[in-house]
Amino acid sequence: MKQNYIFLVLTMTLISSLTMAQTDSKIIEDFKPSTVNQPGKEFPKVNSQGYARFRIEAPTADSVRVSLGLGGKGGTKLTKSADGAWTGTTGGPMDEGFHYYHINIDGGTFNDPGALNFYGSTRWESGIEIPAHDQDFYALKAVPHGNVQQILFPSKSTNTSRRAFVYTPPGYGKEQSKRYPVLYLQHGWGEDETAWSNQGHANLIMDNLIAEGKIKPFIIVMTYGMTNEIKFGGLRNFDVTAFQTVLVDELIPYIDANFQTIAKQSHRAMGGLSMGGMETKMVTLNKTDVFSQYALLSGGTYSSEDIKDKSKVKLIFLSCGSKERPDGVKNAVVTLKNAGFNAVSYVSEGTGHEFQTWRRSLKELAPLLFKE
């Protein structure tokens, strides 16, 4: 029903003008700056319905478009105002949560000067946040906060020092005898090791869950999945070896040597979103003595035939957005459970292949991990 409504609005917008859509009585004029704008920037704005409004200054440009808003490749076409700025509103409400976008100005691709940038699509893209009904779980609150540490670890196989980010929970380091389990968490294609903290708010999700007593604290390690050399369509030939070597032979020993970890298979999990899920599946099946808990977030499924030694797997978590293929995830979990696995599915309502699905997935996954 909502889909049909959006389609109607979009069609109207295409047939008539964007200005008409803007003055449509259905749009509530309670627009506020997106929460991921650059400091002091008023645009882009979002309203309580999920519409986004843009304003780009380029007085002598011929054409300014925003890559968001109509679903098709056209995006939202802005129109020139009397003051020389280009303005426009999306042709319909957008899904809750975070979206990447960019601006096309006279045939070139640029970022919106009003928005913060996030690494996606193999470039730093503009980001916009559509307020979600459940945004409280990743909000910055007055609770004890963990840290996100940038580490540079030696990698012989790639002959450089590589970067990773390590979330350590509140109070980490105060007692040297205290040891924590570790989740290795991967980004998707086009993204990098900054994604889970920047657009995913993994640290705030953890801080809030810990403050509410819903999870026992653990460490999260996020590094670059080396996915961006992979072109779409080339997945069948994807060789995970280079990444697996960095992760298992270089990063994990460094983490275990330098952080207060429980350096055991039973206390080590791996998860990933989208292509990071594909990597997670490959690495966990190759390295059954390294990880005991597996999570694929919009990143495929396991079948019971994939797993040779059931006793080594403590948890399989599969998730996706309701606008993806939730039946695939749900059916896979039913089959895994029937085969005797501790398997859990989660479907994020009203979201697609985007970060709101993955934020929610992390929130659902965290309490299931590292159960004694």
Write 20-26 long-range contacts (CB < 8 A, 24+).
21/89, 21/91, 22/53, 22/88, 22/89
- Whether the Cβ atoms of residue 60 and residue 74 lie closer than 8 Å to each other: no
Judged by CB under 8 A, which stretch of 146-154, 308-316, 321-329, 358-366 contacts a second copy?
Answer: 146-154
Site residues for a second copy, 101-120, by CB under 8 A, read 103, 105-111, 113, 116-117
Going by the DSSP 8-state scheme, the letter that residue 289 receives in this structure is: T
Q: In the stretch 164-193, what mask flags binding to a second copy with x, by CB under 8 A?
A: --x------xx-x---------------x-
Helix 202-211 crosses helix 355-365 at what angle (to 10 degrees)? 30
- Whether the Cβ atoms of residue 345 and residue 89 lie closer than 8 Å to each other: no
> Is 157 an interacting residue with respect to a second copy (CB under 8 A)?
no
- Whether the Cβ atoms of residue 339 and residue 262 lie closer than 8 Å to each other: no
φ, ψ dihedrals at 293, nearest 5°: -135, 130
Task: Please state whether the peptide bond connecting residue 44 to the residue before it is cis, i.e. omega within 30 degrees of 0.
Answer: yes
Q: In the stretch 14-53, what mask flags binding to a second copy with x, by CB under 8 A?
A: ------------------------xxx-------------
Sheet with 79-80, edge to edge strand ranges: 32-33, 45-46, 52-57, 85-89, 79-80
Q: How many residues bind a second copy (CB under 8 A)?
A: 50
Please report how close the Cβ of residue 367 comes to a second copy at its closest, in angstroms.
22
Judged by CB under 8 A, which stretch of 2-10, 158-166, 209-217, 328-336 contacts a second copy?
Answer: 158-166
Torsion of CA 93, 98, 99, 105, to 10 degrees: 90
> Is 73 an interacting residue with respect to a second copy (CB under 8 A)?
no
Among 161, 241, 303, 338, binds a second copy (CB under 8 A): 161
Site residues for a second copy, 195-214, by CB under 8 A, read 197, 203, 207
Give the residues across from 37 on adjacent strands: 115
Site residues for a second copy, 74-103, by CB under 8 A, read 84, 103
Nearest CB to a second copy, comparing residues 57 and 95: 57
Nearest CB to a second copy, comparing residues 51 and 119: 119
> Is 56 an interacting residue with respect to a second copy (CB under 8 A)?
yes
**Residue 354 — left, alpha, or beta (φ > 0 → left; ψ -120 to 50 → alpha)?**
beta
- The residue ranges that bind a second copy (CB under 8 A) are 38-40, 56-63, 84, 103, 105-111, 113, 116-117, 122-124, 140-142, 145, 147-154, 160-161, 166, 173-174, 176, 192, 197, 203, 207, 228, 258
